[in-house]
């Protein structure tokens, strides 16, 4: 089963669904409403990351519940969408970027399912290469880039952006971590479509606003949905993907 985690403004994935059933999924970490869709004769589970109405800020999202809910309904592959600012002039506003690494500057989030035993998952390649290859043939995307995750909800300062850029960051957002590593702990293939909404603070000439984020997502909505629909068409289950075996050799 394919899982879709929709970020800011991405709530229209149900448009091409032949059917849609909402399911309240119980997890150890809380309840999550998951929409079970039939798209192109494939079962797709959809969660709006910020909830309906964009009511949950990034630092309050229950990331563990979301990932566990998708695992519980049978999801084996997740595509997430993340709105980001760019620190790389080759990744301008309106670009779709498929990241291949991350830097984590989030602070107060539960980042593992394993609180009572020692588990060290490998994240040499944190984003699933199998899904990256499918996304590459599904639309006009930029392959590769380092995603910097901040705590939010405020935007970053110019000094922070300067530091992130010096460290090798290309994109900055507030929601990509710990989602990516939690999916790995659950043995789920995971990749992200980063929608560049603007240049980051100190690079952009303008004051950053959430309206700018929603405006860019709105402008790119049809292209983004087409990319996601093409991914669903092209996706095939890959039980031998290394993501599925992330716990092999990880537990002490």
Is 133 within the bounds of a domain? yes
The answer to whether the beta carbons of residues 150 and 160 sit under 8 Å apart is: yes
Is 247 within the bounds of a domain? no
Instruction: Count structural domains, the chain.
Output: 1
**DSSP code per residue over 2-49:** EEEEE-TT---GGGG-SEEEEEEEEETTEEEEEEEEEETTEEEEEEET
Is 250 within the bounds of a domain? no
Calpha distance 187→181 (Å, rounded): 10
Angle ∠(123,119,148) on CA atoms, nearest 5: 35
Calpha distance 176→178 (Å, rounded): 6
Residue 203, domain CATH: 3.40.50.1580
pTM higher than 0.85: yes
CA 153, chain centre distance (Å): 17
Is 202 within the bounds of a domain? yes
Is 99 within the bounds of a domain? yes
CA 222, chain centre distance (Å): 18
Is 241 within the bounds of a domain? no
Mean pLDDT of 184-209: 89
The parent domain of residue 45 ranges over 2-236
Is 246 within the bounds of a domain? no
pLDDT tens by residue, 93-105: 999 999 999 999 9
Mean pLDDT of 108-129: 94
pLDDT tens by residue, 42-94: 999 999 988 776 779 999 999 999 999 999 999 999 999 999 999 999 999 99
Phi, psi for 158 (deg, rounded to 5):
-55, -35
Q: What percent of the chain has pLDDT over 70?
A: 96
Mean pLDDT of 212-219: 81
pLDDT tens by residue, 158-178: 999 999 999 999 999 999 999
Is 243 within the bounds of a domain? no
Helix (H) or strand (E) holding 232: helix 210-234
């Amino acid at each position: 089963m394919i899982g879709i985690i929709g970020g800011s403004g991405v709530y229209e994935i149900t448009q091409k669904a032949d059917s849609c059933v909402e399911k309240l999924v119980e997890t150890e970490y809380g309840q999550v409403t998951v929409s079970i869709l039939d798209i192109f004769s494939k079962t797709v589970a959809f969660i709006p990351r910020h909830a309906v109405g964009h009511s949950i800020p990034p630092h309050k999202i229950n990331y563990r519940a979301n990932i566990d809910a998708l695992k519980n309904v049978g999801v084996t592959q997740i595509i997430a969408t993340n709105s980001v600012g760019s620190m790389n002039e080759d990744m301008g506003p309106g670009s779709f970027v498929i990241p291949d690494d991350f830097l984590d500057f989030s602070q107060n989030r539960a980042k593992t399912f394993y609180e009572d035993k020692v588990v060290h998952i490998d994240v040499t390649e944190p984003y699933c290469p199998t899904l990256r290859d499918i996304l590459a043939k599904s639309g006009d995307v930029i392959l590769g880039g380092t995603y910097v995750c901040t705590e939010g909800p405020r935007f970053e300062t110019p000094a922070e952006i300067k530091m992130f850029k010096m460290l090798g960051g290309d994109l900055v957002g507030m929601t990509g971590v710990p989602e990516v590593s939690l999916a790995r702990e659950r043995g789920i293939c995971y990749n992200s479509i980063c929608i560049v909404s603007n240049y980051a603070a100190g690079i952009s000439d303008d004051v950053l606003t959430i309206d700018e984020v929603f405006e860019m997502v709105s402008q790119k909505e049809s292209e983004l949905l087409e990319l996601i629909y093409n991914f669903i068409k092209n996706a095939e289950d890959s039980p031998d993907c290394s993501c599925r075996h992330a716990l092999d050799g990880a537990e002490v």
